């Protein structure tokens, strides 16, 4: 066995998502596209669609590396959305924005939506159920799409009723490790997998804070870690602010997540987050 010289060039870590290869030397910003019922009421009105497209382009201009587009099915307390409604709401946006060269993540649990999204040029599938639906792994294998595997305890309708763990970090880590292994076994390349502890998905404030402090433990599995804390309830609990007043708390949370090892932050306020990360990078770059 030949010992590797200490100075041997280590391949820079990357995340491959379709035609995009992201350099993980700096944190990535995933912008959340607003497709709430009030701003996108019937899933097809021209003005609603134009507004969503304009919002996505603004986030791209503000420095988002990826734009996450989702139906409503992942919102805590939300009822499942019919497949045809989800497709009608999401696919025109995916097709238009992917054509413009924007890296699009599609937030879905449904294999049929995954397949259509990939066909329309989506770069990543972001699944709050970590590809556990029958056929979901198969929909993402054999194509070059990236996948974000998220941990969730129970279902969105009931998950915040009484979240409980013996050890939240161990349970989240073991679940994500098992899901990543299932994906690798199915032929999804390691470089296409990201992991997410799922802040707020069946977690109390104390659980979320422990997970945030332990992102390094998750990152040690060798996959980039996604952190989604933007505007979430835990930030409201800490600050007493309503959801539309949580931008400063969200910035602090995103920065904390990066300091603890997150490679990707999923945020609403792209421009402010990019500025915060630039300051952090300038400080670290001088070290």
Residue 199 binds ligand 7PM (CB under 6 A): yes
Among 73, 126, 204, 208, binds ligand 7PM (CB under 6 A): 126
Considering 232, 241, 246, 271, which one is annotated as catalytic? 232
232 is catalytic: yes
Exposure string for 131-162, b = 16+ CB within 10 A, e = fewer: bebeebbebbbeeebbbbbbbbbeebeebbee
Q: Which residues of 273-284 are buried (b: 16+ CB within 10 A; e: fewer)?
A: bbebbeebeeee
How far is the C-alpha of 98 from the C-alpha of 92, rounded, in Å? 10
Q: Which is nearer to ligand 7PM, 12 or 161 (CB)?
A: 161
Does 43 help bind ligand 7PM (rule: CB under 6 A)? no
Is 26 in the active site?
no
Which range in 8-16, 19-27, 69-77, 84-92 contacts ligand 7PM by CB under 6 A?
69-77
| Lookup: tokens for 24 | 């993980």
Toward ligand 7PM, which CB reaches closer, 260 or 266?
266
The single residue among 18, 198, 202, 224 that binds ligand 7PM, judged by CB under 6 A, is 198
Secondary structure percentages of the chain, helix, strand, coil, to 5: 40, 15, 45
Backbone phi and psi for residue 50, each to the nearest 5 degrees, phi listed first: -65, -35
Contacts with ligand 7PM, 224-263, as mask; x by CB under 6 A: --x-x---x-------------------------------
Record the tokens describing residue 25, joined without a space. 């030397």
Residue nearest to ligand 7PM (CB): 228
- Using rule CB under 6 A, residue 76 touches ligand 7PM: yes
Number of H helices, E strands in the chain: 10, 10
Query: CB of residue 196 vs ligand 7PM: minimum separation in angstroms?
Result: 4
Q: What is the DSSP letter of 149?
A: E
Of 110, 131, 137, 148, nearest in space to 16 by CA: 148
Output 191 or 196, the one with its CB closest to ligand 7PM.
196
Give the count of residues interacting with ligand 7PM (CB under 6 A). Answer: 16
Token pair recorded at residue 50: 């134009």
Q: Report the residue number, 8 or 224, with the smaller CB distance to ligand 7PM.
A: 224
Nearest to 280 by CA among 29, 11, 20, 12: 29
Which residues ranging from 127 to 186 are in contact with ligand 7PM (CB under 6 A)?
128, 148, 150
Task: Just list the catalytic residues.
Answer: 232, 266
Interface with ligand 7PM by CB under 6 A: which residues? 32, 74-76, 107, 126, 128, 148, 150, 196, 198-199, 226, 228, 232, 266
């Amino acid at each position: 066995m030949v010992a590797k010289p200490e100075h041997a060039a280590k391949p820079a870590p990357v995340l491959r998502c379709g035609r995009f290869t992201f350099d993980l030397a700096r944190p990535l910003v995933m912008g959340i596209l607003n497709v709430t019922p009030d701003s996108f009421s019937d899933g097809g009105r021209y003005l609603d669609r134009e507004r969503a497209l304009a919002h996505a382009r603004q986030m791209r201009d503000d420095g988002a590396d990826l734009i996450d587009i989702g139906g409503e099915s992942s919102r805590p307390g939300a009822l499942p959305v019919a497949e045809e409604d989800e497709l009608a709401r999401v696919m025109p946006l995916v097709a238009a924005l992917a054509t413009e060269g924007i890296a699009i993540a599609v937030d879905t649990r449904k294999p049929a939506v995954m397949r259509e999204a990939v066909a329309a040029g989506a770069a990543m599938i972001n699944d709050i159920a970590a590809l556990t639906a029958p056929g979901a792994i198969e929909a993402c294998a054999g194509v070059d799409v990236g996948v974000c595997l998220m941990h969730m305890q129970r279902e969105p309708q009931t998950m915040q009723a009484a979240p409980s763990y013996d050890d939240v970090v161990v349970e989240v880590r073991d679940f994500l490790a098992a899901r990543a292994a299932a994906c690798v076994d199915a032929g999804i390349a390691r470089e296409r997998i990201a992991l997410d502890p799922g802040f707020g998905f069946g977690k109390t404030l104390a659980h979320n804070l422990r997970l945030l402090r332990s992102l390094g433990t998750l990152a040690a599995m060798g996959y980039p870690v996604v952190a989604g804390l933007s505007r979430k309830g835990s930030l409201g609990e800490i600050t007493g602010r309503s959801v539309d007043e949580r931008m400063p708390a969200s910035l602090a949370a995103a920065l904390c997540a990066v300091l603890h090892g997150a490679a990707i932050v999923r945020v609403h306020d792209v421009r402010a987050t990019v500025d915060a990360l630039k300051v952090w990078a300038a400080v670290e770059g001088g070290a």
